[in-house]
Chains A and B, each alone.
Chain A
């Protein structure tokens, strides 16, 4: 489903975030990308979603070369993904319902179908009662769940999460782990960049360990 072969990413200024990385993620797998901060975890996720392009090597997603896609084709490729960012990237001038509606608006869903899906996604993360609330009024855990609802509302085949438990206390982190597991169980490929060992111990996923831009195991 996702395959990297000899992928190198060098940033302006010469810093090499990834060095000749090769890896495979199978459909329906749950994979953790772990390692110290600065090891290249976030870069790996960004290359998967074509947020950045590799300096060398190829990134294949569903058979498409994510590194050399035309700019106009990138949006359609990204719709395969549900993305969860470290800083959530919620829109603070829109309410909960509108935040979750955004991906469906972008894809151009039929209005009634979209409303049903938004409710289903909010129900799944337990925010159905807070449709009209603004994101700033939500707790950290609720904001995280809102970000999940937005990431999965269009039923992506791959869920990418960057440090999903970074700002959560342990009770919320457990809850979040269960949510991620439940998506994986219905067939969603889940790739998580994290250094949360408790989460790792609970979910028992396959781990890809990065150190200084190289795959260690």
Chain B
């Protein structure tokens, strides 16, 4: 166990030394991976910001409740009473059918047409703010109100939320596709880097195998190299996005002040940052593993 740990420690220091021995190549490789990761990362950061901004700033969705046309004043009072007592309702406004007609006349500018209708086609209505604004709670309220006497129709004003949700889902899809493509790029970059290393270390690998080195032993430094490359690339990607956000925020803050808003793009959260690093390291490791396994087979006995 102690020897095993020692071997891994030696391997790690040897790998770091190898990275340091050809600094330009290492930096370029890390840079390529960093840039590749920065693109989906930037998208993701914007997405997360829009999401949290939308959550904070969106107007609360309302429920509109319409009574049947033959509802009497007593029915209106009944509904009014029930709403007053309902725990899920914060506030509500009653709009009588006469008032609704007057509003429509004033707003649509088609007073003539409306006057020609003879009778008022509009029902009495309530506009209700719910205490709980998530979609499930709102739908539950809608179903409950629907069952009340003399209620013709209950409308949930959630179109806005649905639209935002659809847009965000599209954004998420874009991040996912970009992420997958560039993850592939990362694997390809490490694959190729490791292939070159194996070529330049042919003699060493050959001797090690002749002396009795197992494939895992020979593969290990390459795997470390790949993982370190991925990790460094992940950190670089993080730094690139961080720099980009700083630049944007510098412009955004004065702009937002003009609108009396406090708008700043936030960088990745700590858990997101950690999973980014882990993910990048894992991909580098994968690329190295694929490359090493593929190219070490040629040293096996014929």
What is the interface of chain A, defined by CB distance below 8 A to chain B? 49-53, 71-72, 74-79, 81, 83, 85, 89, 91-93, 102-103, 105-111, 150
Q: How far is the CB of A185 from chain B (nearest CB, A)?
A: 24
Report whether B301 and A109 are in contact in the complex, using a CB–CB cutoff of 8 Å.
no
Give every chain B residue within 8 A of A150 (Cβ-Cβ): 211
CA distance A105 to B7 in the complex (A): 8
For chain B, the count of residues having a C-beta within 8 Å of the partner chain is: 22
Are A78 and B210 CB-contacts (below 8 A) given A52-B301, A91-B203? Answer: yes
A91 to B302, Cβ gap below 8 A? no
Measured CA separation A145–B199 after assembly (Å): 28
A181 to B280, CA, bound (A): 56
Asked whether any CB of chain A lies closer than 8 Å to the CB of B117, the reply is: no
Contacts A52-B301, A53-B302 given; does A91 touch B207 at CB 8 Å = yes
Q: A50-B301, A51-B301, A89-B206 are in contact. Are A106 and B4 (CB under 8 A)?
A: no
Q: Does B213 contact A (CB under 8 A)?
A: yes
Prevailing SS type, chain B contact patch: helix
Q: Nearest chain A CB to B297's CB is how many angstroms away? A: 8
CB distance from A164 to the nearest CB of B (A): 16
Q: What's the least CB distance linking A7 to chain B, in Å?
A: 14
| Partner pick for A76 among B212, B300, B301, CB 8 A cutoff | B212
Cβ–Cβ < 8 Å partners of B213 in chain A: 75, 106
Q: What is the minimal beta-carbon distance from A148 to any residue of chain B, in angstroms?
A: 14
Residues of A near B215 (CB, < 8 A) are 71-72, 75
Closest 4 CB pairs of A and B: A78-B212, A79-B212, A106-B213, A75-B214
**21 CB < 8 A contacts A-B:** A51-B210, A52-B301, A71-B301, A72-B214, A74-B300, A75-B215, A76-B212, A76-B214, A79-B212, A89-B210, A91-B203, A91-B204, A92-B203, A93-B204, A102-B207, A103-B212, A105-B7, A105-B10, A106-B211, A110-B3, A111-B6
* Structural contact, B212 and A106, CB atoms closer than 8 A: yes
A50→B299 CA distance, assembly (Å): 12
- How far, in angstroms, from A109 to B212 measured CA to CA in the complex? 14
Taking CB atoms, residues of chain B closer than 8 Å to A85 are 210
User: Which residue of B is nearest A94, CB measured?
Assistant: B204
Shortest beta-carbon distance from B15 to chain A in Å = 14
Contacts of A52 in B (CB 8 A): 301-302
Known: A50-B301, A78-B210, A105-B7. 19 other contacts (CB 8 A): A49-B210, A51-B210, A71-B215, A74-B301, A75-B212, A75-B217, A76-B214, A77-B212, A78-B212, A83-B210, A89-B203, A89-B206, A103-B212, A106-B211, A107-B212, A108-B3, A108-B4, A108-B7, A110-B3
Residue of B nearest to A113 (CB): B3
Contacts of B302 in A (CB 8 A): 52-53
Q: What are the residues of chain A within 8 A of B68 when measuring CB–CB?
A: none
Mask of B212-229 contacts with A, CB within 8 angstroms, 1/0: 111101000000000000
**Complex Cα spacing A83 to B208, Å:** 11
Instruction: Name B211's closest neighbour in chain A (CB-CB).
Output: A103
Choose among B10, B203, B301 the residue that contacts A53 (Cβ–Cβ < 8 A): B301
What are the interface flags for B49-89 relative to A under an 8 Å C-beta threshold, 1 for contact and 0 otherwise? 00000000000000000000000000000000000000000
CB distance from B7 to the nearest CB of A (A): 6
| Inter-chain contacts of B204 with A (CB < 8 A) | 91, 93
Chain B, 282-302, contact with A by CB distance < 8 Å: what is the 0/1 string?
A: 000000000000000000111
Is B150 in the interface zone, CB < 8 Å from A? no
Residue of B nearest to A79 (CB): B212
Q: Kindly state whether residue B146 has any CB partner on chain A within 8 Å.
A: no
Contact with A along B268-285 (1 / 0, CB 8 A): 000000000000000000
Instruction: Return A69 CB to nearest CB of chain B, in Å.
Output: 8
Across the interface, do B3 and A109 meet the contact criterion of CB distance under 8 Å? Answer: yes
Complex interface: chain B residues within 8 A of A71 (CB): 215, 300-301
Find chain B residues with CB under 8 A from A111 CB.
6
Chain B 1-28: CB-based contact to A (< 8 A → 1; otherwise 0): 0111011001000000000000000000
Q: Kindly state whether residue B105 has any CB partner on chain A within 8 Å.
A: no
Please name all residues of chain A whose beta carbon is closer than 8 Å to the beta carbon of B206 when the two chains form the complex.
89
- Does B142 sit at the interface, judged by CB under 8 A? no
Q: Does B246 contact A (CB under 8 A)?
A: no
Please tell me if the beta carbons of A75 and B209 are within 8 angstroms of each other in the complex: yes
Nearest CB to that of B6 among chain A residues?
A111
In the complex, what residue of chain A is closest to B10 when comparing beta carbons? A105
In the bound complex, how far is the Cα of B2 from the Cα of A108, in angstroms?
10
